[in-house]
Amino acid sequence: MVTLGIESTAHTASVGIVDREAKVLSLASDMYRPAKGGIHPREAANHHVEVLPGLVGQALDASGTAPGDLDAIAFAQGPGLGPCLRAGATVARMLSLAWDRPLVPVNHCVAHVEIARVLSGFDDPMLLYASGGNTQVIAYARGRYRVLGETLDIGIGNFLDKLWIELGGTFPGGPALEIEARSGSELLDLPYSVHGMDVAFSGILTAALALHARGARRADLAYSIEVTTYAMLTEITERALAHRRRATVVLGGGVACNERLRNMVRAMVEERGGSMFAPPRSLCVDNGAMIAWTGHLARTAGRSVPVEGSAVEPRQRTDLVPTPWRAN
Ligand code: ATP
Ligand code: FE2
């Protein structure tokens, strides 16, 4: 038996099917790309409504499963953009009713941890979750996943996207900036903004744009931005490891696709005698397979809901979501 998961928290609509051993049988995704500027929630939601039914069909076909093989339908309940979440939840409710399968709500951040945890084989790792909207260091403690450190303003990915658009590029900025950074060589002076276990990016954005206006090379800016902000993320992850006496780190979120970030975190963790694991890129970015796997864990712990109890929660907090499958 298998679980189907629907992801739609932001710009990516995705459907994944996983078996009871966390094997990803299929993953079908489609990303909303604004013609210019950042993400518009209602346009993204319209995109998701349009593509999700087709993605469900594709995922079923590619996995060779039929609706009758499904243990459950899982969906991302939050956090995320309201209209986008509602698009995914509506499709999930409809499938649950039509196929008479349990409906399981999943927290998106917990899903990033759980897919990385099962793939890594680490029992109790720290997660560095670096995506567009989120930048958090997360670990399990006393019945919940706890956010130990996070961004005080915007997510690192949104910061990279904004900067890249200001420098004349298009969304998404992170991957393009990574390529640009490879031809940078001069480390420009940017604010280094770590506050205990937290980080902040808006001051760096202002400083970078000021340097650009004064004629700094785009490649040097990209290089300096990567080195500075990834060092900040590596530092707060290390501090969290030291505080919580952990030795393993997993990465998640779209920015975790970045080679420099992976290398910096790996070097730090290995220097401490620990291990680091980064999932394949398709499972770092937002994806339906992580929702399906976490839905499987939640269902086996008895956490399915009736349609009336399946409202989305755009501001759902990671540390308020029960995770009974981790109880012992
Ligand atoms: P969430 O809802 O979890 O905040 P998200 O909607 O931002 O996620 P993700 O797919 O997790 O979606 O992340 C997208 C972000 O990742 C974008 O900001 C993008 O620029 C960034 N990104 C993708 N690839 C890279 C890369 N190679 N280097 C740096 N950033 C990257
Ligand atoms: Fe995400």
For 205-247, the pLDDT digits (tens) are 999 999 999 999 999 999 999 999 999 999 999 999 999 999 9
Nearest residue by C-alpha to atom 30 in ligand 1: 174
Q: Measured in angstroms, how far is the CA atom of residue 210 from the centroid of ligand 2?
A: 30
The pLDDT of residue 328: 65
* Whole-number pLDDT of residue 39: 80
For ligand 1, whether the C-beta of 294 sits within 6 Å is no
- Distance between CA 43 and CA 203 in Å, rounded? 29
* Spacing, Cα 131 to ligand 1 middle (Å): 4
pLDDT value at residue 36: 73
The pLDDT score that the predictor gives to residue 75 is 98
Q: How confident is the model at residue 327 (pLDDT cuts 50, 70, 90)?
A: confident
Alpha helices in the chain (DSSP H): 41-63, 82-99, 108-120, 156-166, 173-181, 202-213, 218-244, 259-271, 281-284, 288-300
User: In whole angstroms, what is the distance from residue 197 CA to residue 78 CA?
Assistant: 24
Whether ligand 1 lies within 6 angstroms of the CB of 79 is answered as no
Q: What is the pLDDT of residues 273-315, one digit of tens each?
A: 999 999 999 999 999 999 999 999 999 999 999 999 999 999 9
Q: What residue's CA is closest to ligand 1, atom 10?
A: 285
pLDDT for 35 equals 78
pLDDT tier at 252, thresholds 50, 70, 90 = very high
The 8 Å CB, 24+ separation contacts for 134-139 are 134/79, 134/109, 134/253, 135/199, 135/233, 135/253, 135/255, 136/109, 136/318, 137/197, 137/236, 137/237, 137/240, 138/109, 138/113, 138/318, 139/240, 139/244, 139/246
- Ordered structural domains, the chain, with CATH: 2-108+286-326 (3.30.420.40), 113-282 (3.30.420.40)
Higher pLDDT pick, 170 / 59: 59
Please tell me the distance between residue 54's alpha carbon and the centre of ligand 1 in angstroms: 24
Collect all residues with Cβ–Cβ distance below 8 Å to 183 and sequence separation of at least 6.
219
Residue whose C-alpha is closest to residue 112's, from 96, 94, 126: 126
Tens digit of pLDDT for each residue in 162-195? 999 999 998 889 999 999 999 999 999 999 999 9
User: Which residues lie closer than 8 Å to 285 by C-beta, 6 or more apart?
Assistant: 12, 131, 253, 254, 257
Query: Among all chains, which residue has been given the structure tokens 């300096």?
Result: 224
Ligand 1 center to 327 CA (angstroms): 31
Of ligand 1's listed atoms, the one at least distance from the Cα of 155 is 4
Distance CA 267, CA 132 (A): 24
pLDDT at residue 10, rounded to an integer: 94
Mean per-residue pLDDT over the chain, rounded: 96
The pTM of the full predicted model, rounded to 2 decimals, is 0.94
Centroid of ligand 2 to alpha carbon of 217 (angstroms): 31
Per-residue pLDDT of 303-313, as tens digits, reads 999 999 999 99
Best residue among 27, 171, 226, 255 to mutate for probing ligand 1's pocket (most ligand atoms within 8 Å of CB) is: 255
Out of 77, 81, 160, 223, mutate this one to test ligand 1's pocket (max ligand atoms within 8 Å of CB): namely 160
pLDDT at 37 over 80: no
Mean pLDDT of 243-265: 97
- pLDDT > 90: what percent of the chain? 96
Per the CB < 8 A criterion, the answer to whether 96 and 103 are in contact is: yes
